[in-house]
Structure 1
Amino acid sequence: MKKLAFLILIVPLIFCTPLKAHELKKSFEEGLAAYQKQNFKKALSAFQAVIEKDPYNYVALYNLGLTQYQLKQEGIALANWRRAIGISPLFIPARKALEHVLKTKEVFPPLSNSLWEMLHLSFFIYFPLDFFWGGLLVALLLSLWMLIKFLGKKKKHLKDNLPPPSFPVSVTISLCVTVVFLLAFGFKIWDLAHPRGTITAKQVALHSAPDKQSSTLIEVSLGQEVFVEKQSGPWRQVLVSSGISGWIPSSSVTLTYGFQLW
């Protein structure tokens, strides 16, 4: 029944995939065909081939996650669904798959109880950066057009010795919307600059230093989301929901949201 539920999610995507290049489309369709025949290893290779050449293809990431889940690779499946959501926040199939699997897992608390984390979970995670950038551009151009139009009207009134027109409410509203989008765009950049990752191993020791011989602080679990802070060779420093920061092998965590500045 579980396999059937995931299969229902995958079939409609044959017609809505954004793949254009013939080679990528061929690999994608091979992956779908293999998945439907339950040849999951072949499907895995096909979807991985797509991601290697098109790493931001959220549909392929979603299907790759389904395949990995069937192969009992739950950690990396969760990571790839989160990656798909990070690229296309309103992509419902990936959200449904993630929620379905997390229901059977340990309930992890939010990464922090801050106001910013609440804004991230309730607002910023649902909109890509392009949304804020596009909204800012449209609002700015509209404000400039309306402002130029008002200044032209004011100049004409002065030339005709007429009382100057009052400042339009529409221009004020447009400027306010522009400021809101500017702030939201800045906050989204700040949010993305604090990357998050998913633990892909069953149990991982969080070390006090990037060294296996260092002391163990706590253990983190498969599927748990963490902040990714630094990279040092084969180690990554992460921050967990309890506020503890430590080091784990890079192979145990997959970056799923945001970008690395280091």
Structure 2
Amino acid sequence: MTGKFMLSRRDLLKTSAAGAALGLASAAFPIRAARAAAATVGFIYVGPKDDYGYNQAHAEGAAALKGVEGISIVEEENVPETVDVQKTMESMINLDGASLIFPTSFGYFDPHMLAMCAKFPDVQFRHCGGMWNKDKHPMNAGSYFGYIGMGQYLNGVVAGHTSKSKKLGFVAAKPIPQVLLNINSFLLGARSVDPAITCQVIFTGEWSLAVKEAEATNALIDQGADVVTCHVDSPKVVVETAAGRGAFICGYHANQSPLAPDKYLTGAEWNWAKVYKM
């Protein structure tokens, strides 16, 4: 640990180069043990905590721990999926005394969280994404995720009943298994209503890229989609753009209904507090 790392986590990041039903996979989920030991728990988010999406859902889950006796919470937002997250984890351990860390973004796992597991074998790490394998990964690591595809299936059912054009649109970040599961679930739900329904997908290539999300939403509507959903970190741009064009919305991650009260149909939302309080 160099003197630079000892300044503060926020100073470090400013000077860096880059600037539901639950499925658990871990040796043990350690919140109860942390509570008994009066521990500090760290949460790391790839975007802002008020993004109406993925990061907000996790931050709301973390907030449920703030009143739990024996638990202190430390959080860092807007941490990219680069070596910066390793620095954040390291400073949470060395500066804040964190003994349990939740790096919540998909790209934090390999190599970043795994590197910190090796460096700090007495600290527990739990990654959101279901990627941990007890036969190949450290035992102070673990993962968790939820069966959110079920929620996207129900989104599809509602979309199928709503659509007049029989064309749905899906704005997606990256073609990873979790995203593909949601796309297929949404379409299967819609086709349970009408097998003739189609769903066009546009990948933006990034978890959060507002310009491409707006362009993708407009392109889908231009091609006839009258109901749109998404799997990006913050659905805010997709929701507001689609509603502005007169299309209906099925939300994702958190509640976006305040953004488009007349066009928001329903949403597949996370309740991470159920995990974090285990």
Higher helix share: 1
Greater Cα radius of gyration, structure 1 or 2: 1
Higher strand share: 2
TM-score bracket, normalised by the shorter chain, equals under 0.3
Q: TM-score, normalised by structure 2?
A: 0.26
